[in-house]
Structure 1
Amino acid sequence: MGLIKKTLLTGALTGAGVLGYIGATTTIISPLPKDDPIWSSRTYAKYNMHQNPATQDVCVKRIPLSKIRPELLQKEGDLAVEFSRGVWSGLGFRFQRAFAARKYQSAATASDLWTVEQLSTSTYEPGTQLTDHFQVVEKTPTEIIVRCGDSPRNAGPRDSDGLFAISAVVDKERGEVVLGLKSCFFHSDRRVEGTIGPVAGAAEVLHQWYSRILMATAASRVTRGL
């Protein structure tokens, strides 16, 4: 019994230490600033046509340029693509990917990206579908935006809808790369009154920690030493 207690305590302390590190090296901003580009984007206007309240946040991590893989800084767009590969093929997404594969992988979704190899090599062009839950709807040199909340096979308005933006921007002035995971969740199938988005309370806190974990496991993809 003593050994079991020690093992459980060690595991708990290790987990707390990992979460503490992740919390210290990432920042959550919520709500998003009123001048955030997503609010005036065509993509947001298209999917949130009723301008319903959204659950909104962005997870940010800054990394010194000296720690970034130099080949990713040679061609515009490579950094954002590689970071996106890290998000979807990294350890943070493994459980959700495996769960989705067991539940939704079929002949009808055969063209989606399912395997770690597919997710780690895709260039994430608009139209790319992932695990029957995400679809790339916009791509720029610094940002890849996916629609989420339901299957891409449901192309119309949804009870559960949202946008997830994966970004990588070089801040030359500070000598850093700014990685971002931005989320906006909303109802798109009807008009909703009020100011509170569909994900609130404990669920919102859990979502923000999930974003931090995705960030921590994806960021290593763009740093030296891989």
Structure 2
Amino acid sequence: MGLFKKTCYTGILTAASFLGYVGATTTIIAPLPKDDAIWSSRSYLQGNIHQNPPTQDVCLKRVPLDKIRPELLRKEGDLALELCRGIWSGLAFRIQRAYLARKYQGTATAIQLWTVDQLSSSTYEPGTQLTDHFEVLDKTPTETILRAGDSPRNSGPRGSDGLLVISAVIDQERREVVLGLKSCFFGSDRKVEDSQGPMPRWMEEMHRWYSRLLITAASWRVTR
């Protein structure tokens, strides 16, 4: 086998092994339970004013409590904040960040977060905008809620709209931390008669693998 073919073969095996690891260590729940807190949240009720069917899921990753960086467990809210920083500054978001920066970064978006350093150090207070595609709506000690789907400069109803919820919750009974990335996408500019969410099935599947990669890369930020 030539060196080039051997290198390609090794790369394919490595990528397949990594994706296998990501799939085995994360869980996708779709659709979201009917009693999920997002359905009664102000962000959802005010955002999806037409009650259009959403594309909905949550990606969960459980991490043993003793694997979490101990300094993140001393003050309430530090773990969830660090996970949020890990999502946006992590390796999995780098390609999308670079694409958005090339397309939208400029004078009109100068107040937004763009660089890895900015995304890695922000406190993600409500009103924070990043990469001209996300805006923090609310923040609690266990989660950060962001609006997604279009530029935060478009504050009104959108053809592409949605919410992301980044969460970190301690499960004391199992001595684990549950890291979560919840997605709920919908159109908010008009009533949609279709019973399906805005994403076709193939795009849903790609989105869920992207969620797995985002939460996996972010988990490296909060573990030791």
Question: One fold, TM greater than 0.5?
Answer: yes
Q: Quote the Cα distance in structure 2 between the aligned partners of 1:187 and 1:31.
A: 17
Which residue in 2 is equivalent to 1:179?
Answer: 179
Q: Quote the Cα distance in structure 2 between the aligned partners of 1:157 and 1:165.
A: 20
Alignment partner of 1:147 is 2:150: no
Q: Deviations over 1:34-69 (max 9, x none)?
A: 110000111100110111100000000001110011
Q: Quote the Cα distance in structure 2 between the aligned partners of 1:74 and 1:51.
A: 40
Unaligned 5+ segments in structure 1 are none
Displacement of 1:193 in angstroms is: 1.8
* Count of matched residue positions in the alignment of Structure 1 and Structure 2: 224
Within a 5 Å distance, the mapping from 1:19-38 to structure 2 comes to: 19-38=19-38
Displacement of 1:71 in angstroms is: 1.0
Q: Is the 8 A contact 1:55 1:200 kept in 2?
A: no
Percent of aligned positions that are identical: 71
Amino acid across the alignment from 1:20: G
Q: Is the 8 A contact 1:124 1:136 kept in 2?
A: yes
Unaligned 5+ segments in structure 2 are none
Q: Quote the Cα distance in structure 2 between the aligned partners of 1:97 and 1:28.
A: 24
Amino acid across the alignment from 1:33: P
Q: Quote the Cα distance in structure 1 between the aligned partners of 2:67 and 2:218.
A: 14
Within a 5 Å distance, the mapping from 1:37-186 to structure 2 comes to: 37-186=37-186
Amino acid across the alignment from 1:130: L
Q: Give secondary structure in 2 for the equivalent of 1:101.
A: helix
Q: Quote the Cα distance in structure 2 between the aligned partners of 1:6 and 1:65.
A: 40
Amino acid across the alignment from 1:164: L
How does the TM-score come out when normalised to structure 1? 0.97
Q: Is the 8 A contact 1:65 1:177 kept in 2?
A: yes
Q: Quote the Cα distance in structure 2 between the aligned partners of 1:10 and 1:95.
A: 23
Q: Give secondary structure in 2 for the equivalent of 1:82.
A: helix
Q: Give secondary structure in 2 for the equivalent of 1:100.
A: helix
How does the TM-score come out when normalised to structure 2? 0.98
Query: Once superposed, what is the RMSD of the aligned Cα atoms?
Result: 0.8
Displacement of 1:200 in angstroms is: 2.2
Q: Quote the Cα distance in structure 2 between the aligned partners of 1:200 and 1:214.
A: 21
Q: Give secondary structure in 2 for the equivalent of 1:136.
A: strand
Q: Is the 8 A contact 1:50 1:191 kept in 2?
A: yes
Q: Quote the Cα distance in structure 1 between the aligned partners of 2:69 and 2:127.
A: 28
Displacement of 1:195 in angstroms is: 2.5
Q: Give secondary structure in 2 for the equivalent of 1:52.
A: coil
Query: Which portions of structure 1, spanning 4 or more consecutive aligned residues, are displaced by more than 4 angstroms?
Result: none
